[in-house]
Amino acid sequence: MKTTLLLPRWLLSMKPGEGVLEGQALLIEGERIAAVGARADLLSAHPQAERIELAEHVLMPGLINSHTHSAMSLLRGVADDLGLMDWLNNHIWPLEKRWVSHEWTRLGSLFSAAEALRGGVTTLNDMYFFPEAMAEAALQAGIRAAVSINVIDFPTGYASGPDDYIAKGLAAYQKFKGEKLLQFTSSPHAPYTVSDETFVKLRDMAEQHDMRIHCHIHETQDEVDGGLKQFGVRPLERLEKLGLMNERMIAVHMVHLTDDEIGMLAKNRVHIAHNASSNLKLASGIARVADLDKAGVNVALGTDGAASNNRQDMFEEIRQAALLAKGSTGQPTVLNARRALEMATLGGAKALGRERDLGSLEVGKLADVIAVDLSAPECRPVYHADAQLVYVAAREHVSDVWVQGEQVLKARQLTRFDLSAVVAQVEDTVAKMKN
């Protein structure tokens, strides 16, 4: 079994109650973290381990992107400065109908996996069609992924209707069921595109196969108003009555919430995937993250897809979440640096039901680890390394990444595949789409 000893200047385990440590080291044995302790002690105890010096780095858990549409990296910048429904109806859905295929999805997902790993993301909670393609890309890249059985009530180039989406998704689930890097989610697109009957089928599928449910909810005021008009209740009340608002649910966006709804979310242990930058760019609004956090709701962070956010950059989302919470409440003490980092690590792990294995650097957990280099002048001086990660450092400062004990990014270079070849394929594909 391969053993690797990581020797950073700072270690931020994200273990509850533990701050930034110096003089520490972390030992990886196989897929898991075998020891975390004093540098001198681990060096003495494991003389045969491969040693990796990280002289000016913070070692921390890999970031968890709790909501993205990986394949849509091929649509980055195709339609900017638009409202959500205009963006969807007049630009994104027509393009997807024409171009999306298994190979298109696989290429876009692999391209996004490269961006994710280079930005310190070790887990993606994805939502898109052609789940087999996403699974193949994740396995090739060596990134951890929650792959969606994505369902919408109208036909697309992928499936003819809800039952077809579900059947194809379950076939992919059965095909990849034993893969350690993968899990699958039951993923109704949104209340305005999915019927009650389909929601119930996806609820039952999640319970039968022990899946999380992954759904856009209360993203815009128009969505809430439309739900009231069509069903006589707000979308959250409708989904609660259908039995979906429970600990399985990862509710994405959740921008427009009442106090009562926040209380219901806390009571039912629903998880939130907060997508600050996408919400701002689409002018959807600002989520009440400080209030959700105060109520005890688990909030995770996500980028959304590259077609709506453009940057699949979790460091940007961490900073954006912290600043928006402060600016929108007028309270500079809310959502401090530590809490923002927790949302991107432990919060994401909890949302995916993986908190026993992911989200912190603790003995026995899977070795999903990143090193962030703070040696650059723009990152100096360092008074508080954790705050530096939130308010100063960026994805380009991520130097090394391990997923399940394997180094998949080494000195900024991907180890699993040739990125230049993927970029060439992307350029060729986009050139065809432009004609």
pLDDT tens per residue across span 342-393: 999 999 999 999 999 999 999 999 999 999 999 999 999 999 999 999 999 9
- CA 83 to CA 347: how far, in whole Å? 29
Do 378 and 280 lie in one domain? The reply is no
| Region 228-243 average pLDDT | 97
Residue 360 lies in a domain: no
Confidence at 433, pLDDT banded by 50, 70, 90? confident
| Region 105-121 average pLDDT | 98
| Region 191-196 average pLDDT | 97
Q: Between β-strands 369-373 and 50-61, what pairing exists: parallel, antiparallel or unpaired?
A: antiparallel
Residue 331 backbone phi and psi in degrees, to 5? -125, 105
Residue 42, domain extent: 3-61+365-414
Do 69 and 57 lie in one domain? The reply is no
What phi-psi label fits residue 269: left (phi over 0), alpha (psi between -120 and 50 degrees) or beta?
A: left
Do 311 and 383 lie in one domain? The reply is no
Do 169 and 87 lie in one domain? The reply is yes
Residue 435 lies in a domain: no
Q: What is the CATH number of the domain that holds 374?
A: 2.30.40.10
* Cα torsion through 275, 280, 283, 284, rounded to 10: 20
- CA 204 to CA 210: how far, in whole Å? 10
Do 117 and 201 lie in one domain? The reply is yes
pLDDT tens per residue across span 142-175: 999 999 999 999 999 899 999 999 999 999 999 9
Closest-CA residue to 148 (of 182, 187, 109, 191): 187
Instruction: Please give the structure tokens belonging to residue 334.
Output: 């809310």
Which pLDDT belongs to residue 205?
A: 98
Domain boundary among 303, 320, 351: 351
Residue 356 lies in a domain: no
Do 246 and 383 lie in one domain? The reply is no
In the chain, what percentage of residues exceed pLDDT 70? 100
Do 24 and 139 lie in one domain? The reply is no
Q: What is the CATH number of the domain that holds 134?
A: 3.20.20.140
Which pLDDT belongs to residue 303?
A: 98
Q: Which residue has the tokens 């270690």?
A: 11
pLDDT tens per residue across span 317-326: 999 999 999 9
Our count of domains for the chain comes to: 2
In the chain, what percentage of residues exceed pLDDT 90? 93
Do 184 and 264 lie in one domain? The reply is yes
How much is the pTM? Answer: 0.97
